[in-house]
Structure 1
């Protein structure tokens, strides 16, 4: 039957995209999910007259890529398929813009040469190589990185065409830019301000500070229609001269209601937009410009070349600059496309395709850096202090250890001094993680006084064991609040992390007598990890088995340890567990169980649940790290060490 099942980690397919050895391109295995990309061999195409071939270094992503992955651009699939002779929509080329290096030049191309670093619009750019019309490319300014250049083509060409050529924005006019923190929005803010216009913007509230810093004085919510009254008030009831719209539904008539008589409405949305007849029926005085750059180029050959030529000297002079972006390695293409759907996204998503670009532009998952801060909740517990030392040994130089109390024992004070002697700044902040205000205070302290927070390890937890018939809500709440509420508030409030690790428990997967409250709390962490991954955010929930002589296990009496061993549960050695932690931070599915279990013995004690029944009869491969073997030898009696 269908049920959640545990499988050995080394038997699972990796979460990353597998790449062939030679040239490749991306295609969709199926529509409906951003995780359905696959890399297939590419037959490189000799450039024809007026074309060049690019070795792609980085590709910019657009919301159109999301719609393509979900199978929501059928008209585009048909149009491109007819042009290229492609019968299957799944084989339509992926990617619309890139930066890279010219490797072959066709006849008649005079403005580009082999070896030139370029950026431009290139359909099929999610590939190692792409052959494209040379007129759709421009030379990359030498001071600009490849990932920066990949943010330019679609966003800035769209903004320049919309505001300078269609709306013809003039100094002193007012322009309402919706979704102003996105890729096109960020480009449009710069283009409108360069034209001397006053910008009114909408964006998610978390992005308002960014727009204020860019000189936009009036920022409103893009999540409600409240902007109508605010725009009327700001313009004295007259309305704005230009609307640059990318929103749909009720936002369209709402935006029209604040557009001045004879104003210009430029539509760059993809779905749910109005046709010209609808607009004429609603506001016949408005100049309406819905457009798609591809269609405009087909009616105005040379348009894209002129737009890119317009941009290059402006970037070189510093009049405008590339938008903020987040770069992902190609192997994480699913996360990269998913990032475009996040409410917290700012600017562009970029896929780094060339290996050297990946190394310089994409922070490896789970890397620990000296110029970043790391938060460990439950940081003064026995396990938390060992985790803190592990981070410092791997290069962390700023740690925040958080818990309800401060250091109280000689062991805690000594551990903190050892960490500081290793060159780390270690701050202990007392906080109740079940209180949102306390979590906010901790994060604000880090933002104000320390390097950027780049990693969270949520290791807080308490026990209050009893059979369910003896439990009450107070006992459930005592166990669940630090784990559940603490994890959720950290999820909501901590941003731009390289890793988000939650210490869960195998109890949530295989159960344990008297620990229903603890199992429930840890099951929530497991679900939260999956939720964050679905949002394109880093997360792993590690369902630990018992540790040897550290953490909660260290407080067990000998009878409890014997009972645990009798049912097949064995402790994870400290060195082995920390080594596993390092591997799982770098790459792991959202939920991993890290336990040493004799499955047949466990099955002899408890009826096998569907989740782990398959492991009872599967061969067991215990891979011990060198550190774990050394610790095992050191702890063994002398006569057993040989």
Structure 2
């Protein structure tokens, strides 16, 4: 098999393709011949050396794959052999062959492509947890989605519009036309506009009921102020700490210094009638039944045509560094994938 390894911390060029023997499935596992692997910002944070969950390097990153099952371990029904599937992985997803426990496997619905399937798990599980499970978004409410052109942003927009909410998105101006076509009601150019000021104008001073923030730092401070009464701030990333393609501790320190720790204390939250929560799907590996329920609901929504992953671009394994550059250069609208 072929795998993409983070060989050391640094720029995208530290990613290297290596050969290894094909693995054999253990009891309760299946082996997947991978057709596509998802690329996520967590992979980039790991590559630069700022992701605390990353196993010791060298390591194969990757949280999601799609493909077909060609072998099974003991205690797995033979009917799984040959089936098209998508799966969550706990690292190791940048590979053309992988063995995984059956509970992490979902059958692909008829008509779902391998690219769509690999684009679904991380982005849509994260968006579902942010918008539905913890965000509690209701019809008629307004949600502010930062990085609206990313995979999570597009997933959250689709889910929010299905609920009946109004979506405000932040993105560079070059992405606005396409994001309007994808359902975003109001767009803010974060490069030239203050999102707090513009969102207040859009909401006629009321503020918003839900904010999805993967930026961190000063963005959280502004977002917390922007929340309407009973508003919720959902945090799921710290992209402001990774502004370059190599680790810079000054960026991490700046992000931490600008985080509104005081505003998030219990008394402030009580008095303001506001909520703050965090989301990391990668820390829910023990919640098997919960994740399976989310996956089944999302696959049902895909079958209904409510959600549809948007593929920004796919890259060959040998071009994995280019895939990371593509994301860090903010060129993607939607999901970036690796195709063996």
State the TM-score bracket (shorter-chain normalisation).
Answer: 0.7 to 0.9
Contact 2:123–2:152 under 8 Å retained in 1: yes
Alpha-carbon distance between aligned partners in 2 of 1:293 and 1:99, rounded to the nearest angstrom: 18
Name the larger-Rg structure. Answer: 1
Counterpart among 23, 32, 36 of residue 58 in structure 1: 36
Measured against aligned partners, the alpha-carbon deviations of 1:39-79 in whole angstroms (never above 9, x if no partner) come to 22324333234322111111110111112222222x112xx
The question of 1:325 aligning with 2:325 is answered: no
* Corresponding residue number in structure 2 for 1:268: 236
Contact 2:157–2:183 under 8 Å retained in 1: no
* Corresponding residue number in structure 2 for 1:232: 200
Using the TM superposition, give the Cα deviation of residue 95 of structure 1 relative to its aligned residue in structure 2, in angstroms.
1.2
Structure 1 residues 318 and 335 mapped into 2: Cα distance closer, same or farther (>3 Å)? same
Query: Structure 1 unaligned runs (5+)?
Result: 1-22, 82-88, 354-642
The question of 1:45 aligning with 2:23 is answered: yes
List structure 1 runs of 4+ shifted beyond 6 angstroms: none
Measured against aligned partners, the alpha-carbon deviations of 1:358-386 in whole angstroms (never above 9, x if no partner) come to xxxxxxxxxxxxxxxxxxxxxxxxxxxxx
Structure 2 residue matching 1:269: 3-state secondary structure: coil
Structure 2 residue matching 1:346: 3-state secondary structure: coil
Structure 1 segment 72-83 matched on structure 2, within 5 A: 72-73=50-51, 75-77=52-54, 81=55
Alpha-carbon distance between aligned partners in 2 of 1:38 and 1:112, rounded to the nearest angstrom: 36
The question of 1:304 aligning with 2:291 is answered: yes
Structure 1 residues 108 and 241 mapped into 2: Cα distance closer, same or farther (>3 Å)? farther
Alpha-carbon distance between aligned partners in 2 of 1:99 and 1:160, rounded to the nearest angstrom: 20
The question of 1:117 aligning with 2:95 is answered: no
Structure 1 residues 287 and 296 mapped into 2: Cα distance closer, same or farther (>3 Å)? farther
Structure 1 residues 348 and 231 mapped into 2: Cα distance closer, same or farther (>3 Å)? same
Alpha-carbon distance between aligned partners in 1 of 2:293 and 2:134, rounded to the nearest angstrom: 14
Contact 1:112–1:134 under 8 Å retained in 2: no
The question of 1:279 aligning with 2:264 is answered: yes
Alpha-carbon distance between aligned partners in 2 of 1:109 and 1:260, rounded to the nearest angstrom: 50
Counterpart among 105, 117, 121 of residue 153 in structure 1: 121
* Corresponding residue number in structure 2 for 1:71: 49
Higher strand content, 1 or 2: 2
Structure 1 residues 200 and 170 mapped into 2: Cα distance closer, same or farther (>3 Å)? same
Counterpart among 163, 172, 175 of residue 143 in structure 2: 175
Structure 1 residues 112 and 254 mapped into 2: Cα distance closer, same or farther (>3 Å)? farther
Using the TM superposition, give the Cα deviation of residue 163 of structure 1 relative to its aligned residue in structure 2, in angstroms.
0.7
Contact 2:17–2:318 under 8 Å retained in 1: no
**What TM-score comes out, normalization by structure 2 length?**
0.87
**What TM-score comes out, normalization by structure 1 length?**
0.47
Alpha-carbon distance between aligned partners in 2 of 1:36 and 1:350, rounded to the nearest angstrom: 18
* Corresponding residue number in structure 2 for 1:218: 186
Alpha-carbon distance between aligned partners in 1 of 2:222 and 2:262, rounded to the nearest angstrom: 18
RMSD across aligned positions (CA): 2.1
Structure 1 residues 294 and 215 mapped into 2: Cα distance closer, same or farther (>3 Å)? closer
Give aligned pairs, total: 319
Structure 1 segment 250-265 matched on structure 2, within 5 A: 250-265=218-233
* Corresponding residue number in structure 1 for 2:160: 192
The question of 1:201 aligning with 2:169 is answered: yes
Alpha-carbon distance between aligned partners in 2 of 1:111 and 1:279, rounded to the nearest angstrom: 52
Alpha-carbon distance between aligned partners in 2 of 1:26 and 1:292, rounded to the nearest angstrom: 23
The structure, 1 or 2, with the larger RCO (C-alpha pairs under 8 Å, 6+ apart) is 2
Contact 1:174–1:198 under 8 Å retained in 2: yes
Structure 1 segment 373-412 matched on structure 2, within 5 A: none
Using the TM superposition, give the Cα deviation of residue 225 of structure 1 relative to its aligned residue in structure 2, in angstroms.
5.5
Structure 1 segment 525-544 matched on structure 2, within 5 A: none
Using the TM superposition, give the Cα deviation of residue 330 of structure 1 relative to its aligned residue in structure 2, in angstroms.
1.1
Alpha-carbon distance between aligned partners in 1 of 2:262 and 2:22, rounded to the nearest angstrom: 44
Counterpart among 93, 100, 106 of residue 73 in structure 2: 106
Structure 1 residues 150 and 112 mapped into 2: Cα distance closer, same or farther (>3 Å)? farther
Q: Which moved more, 1:179-188 or 1:210-219?
A: 210-219
Alpha-carbon distance between aligned partners in 2 of 1:43 and 1:279, rounded to the nearest angstrom: 50
Structure 2 residue matching 1:53: 3-state secondary structure: strand
The question of 1:288 aligning with 2:255 is answered: no
